[in-house]
Structure 1
Amino acid sequence: MKCCFGFVTLFVCSASVQAQEANALVQQVKARLEKVADYQATAQMDINVPFINAPSSEVQVFYRRPDKFRVQKPQGISVLPKGGVRINLAALLAGNNYTVVDAGTAAVGGFNTRVVKLLPSDESGPVVLSTLYIDAAQPVIRKTTVVAREGGSYEMLFDYGRYTAWGLPDKVTFVFSAKEFKMPKGVTFDYEKSGPKKDPPKGDGKGRVVLTYKSYTINKGVPDAVFKD
């Protein structure tokens, strides 16, 4: 009986330590992202989605803490993710209205990551569950998967380089199921009526939107007008 009790105690203590480590890691990532009050960036957008026929194009990306985010084409037309979709990491981690749960480790793109799940405190919110794959050596998020209350799930992959110190990626790949040619509810792009439907993506059958960042202008201010519809 004492042996069993000791084993249970050891297991509970180990789980508690892991939970504390996961919380600390999330706070490290959050602290790095919070160094960025705002930014304006130039990026290349590439879309591989069955119902959108669009060439690669240069876009402007705007962000203001905690959750203002907009992608704009040169003509001034907004390309704006809405609803439960959180394309920028700072918005995903904004506030403390979630419980952090340690979920082990996993390899992402050749990097060893700690897997952490965020359970929202608000049961009626737009996001049901977020899973972060954190590279503790940096620390930065290499991948996220998000389950939205309306519109299914999606994932984002992040590549870093020149702006790692700010927690800002050089490249973001937004991945979602292309089955039935439908993106998660709330995600719309002005490209949707630009041409006939493409054939479904080959390989894993998923659609992808890729933002490759050329440069960031950080903490120089972004006017309110940018975020107005």
Structure 2
Amino acid sequence: MKKGILTGLLLLTFSAFGQDAEKVIEKINTKLATVKDYTVNAHIDADIPMIKIMPSNAKIYFKQKDQVKIESKGITILPKQGFTELNNFLSDKSKYTAVFGDSLKIRDIDTRLINIIPNSSSGEIVLAKIWVDQKNSVIIRSQVTTQTNGTVKTDYKYGSQLSYGLPSELKFEIDVKKFKMPKSVAADINKTSTDKKNTKTKQRTKGNITITLTDYKVNSGLSDSIFKDKKKK
């Protein structure tokens, strides 16, 4: 009898935590939903083991719900996990269960961990964790494990577009062996790996990509025609 009561209490507690966590995510989604479209300039610095990638500049166009176009003359590496894919996933609450975790201070910001558990095992996202600034309803850090790109950790910083939930900087930590690189970059990595396979030097397996975002133009009324001829990312 006591065991049954205890189990029931645990289930009720789990359910309450889940409901509260989903309310926090709902506030994040509500804020992001105020952004109908935007354009922004991106400066991209990539620190990838075994290869040198020069800093590059890009212009990013976005329009609800998931239209994205990137214009760049150089090699552009934009991990979708912390940029658009996670937001799209969180916007459909039928796809996951959300449960609170521990509190954590990140860069002097009080955050709360929310574990995101997909309701289906067939999707791209296997597991996600987000650390949320509940005061401002924004994600400060995320850790997303996917079927094809391994685990990507992202730190978010905010500036003038905080009210829209749009970051001023994104810093990604990727698993180089699992992350899908542009074909030219992947070829160089494979070549370098082959050249050094007989050396005793231990190569780093993690890489960093930092994207600085400036000159946002939000809700300017972008035309759908902008996205018709998408360039390969």
Q: Is the structural similarity TM-score above 0.5?
A: yes
In the alignment, structure 1 residue 184 sits paired with structure 2 residue 179: yes
- Change over 3 Å in CA distance of 1:16–1:121 after alignment to 2: closer
The residue aligned with 2:44 is 45
Query: Which stretch shifts more, 138-147 or 7-16?
Result: 7-16
Question: Is contact 2:56–2:76 with CA below 8 Å preserved after alignment?
Answer: no
In the alignment, structure 1 residue 87 sits paired with structure 2 residue 83: yes
Structure 1: unaligned runs, 5 residues or longer: none
Residue-pair matches, total: 220
1:109 to partner: Cα distance: 2.5
1:28 to partner: Cα distance: 0.3
Question: Is contact 2:28–2:138 with CA below 8 Å preserved after alignment?
Answer: yes
Amino acid at match of 1:188: P
The residue aligned with 2:212 is 212
Question: Is contact 1:80–1:189 with CA below 8 Å preserved after alignment?
Answer: no
Question: Is contact 1:70–1:78 with CA below 8 Å preserved after alignment?
Answer: no
In the alignment, structure 1 residue 131 sits paired with structure 2 residue 134: no
The answer to which structure has the higher helix fraction is 2
In 2, the alpha carbon distance for the partners of 1:122 and 1:10 equals 26
Select the residue among 170, 181, 199 that pairs with 2:168: 170
In 2, the alpha carbon distance for the partners of 1:210 and 1:81 equals 9
Deviations 1:29-86 (A, max 9, x none): 011111112211102111100243222222112222233334331x3x673658x745
The residue aligned with 1:115 is 113
Deviations 1:70-122 (A, max 9, x none): 4331x3x673658x745225324232222212223222222221111222233
In 2, the alpha carbon distance for the partners of 1:37 and 1:191 equals 33
In 2, the alpha carbon distance for the partners of 1:56 and 1:219 equals 28
TM-score by length of 2: 0.78
Question: Is contact 1:52–1:197 with CA below 8 Å preserved after alignment?
Answer: yes
1:8 to partner: Cα distance: 5.7
Amino acid at match of 1:33: L
The residue aligned with 2:230 is 227
Question: Is contact 2:14–2:99 with CA below 8 Å preserved after alignment?
Answer: no
Matches within 5 A, 1:49-88: 49-73=48-72, 75=73, 79=76, 85=81, 87-88=83-84
Q: Secondary structure at the match of 2:167?
A: coil
TM-score by length of 1: 0.80
- Change over 3 Å in CA distance of 1:107–1:39 after alignment to 2: same
The residue aligned with 1:22 is 21
In 2, the alpha carbon distance for the partners of 1:123 and 1:10 equals 28
Structure 2: unaligned runs, 5 residues or longer: none
In 1, the alpha carbon distance for the partners of 2:169 and 2:183 equals 19
- Change over 3 Å in CA distance of 1:192–1:14 after alignment to 2: closer
Amino acid at match of 2:83: I
In 2, the alpha carbon distance for the partners of 1:95 and 1:161 equals 27
- Change over 3 Å in CA distance of 1:92–1:227 after alignment to 2: farther
Query: Which stretch shifts more, 53-62 or 9-18?
Result: 9-18
Between the aligned residues of both structures, percent identity stands at 21
1:168 to partner: Cα distance: 0.3
Deviations 1:166-222 (A, max 9, x none): 0000000111134xxx3513x4276566899699999x8621111101111112215
- Change over 3 Å in CA distance of 1:64–1:197 after alignment to 2: farther
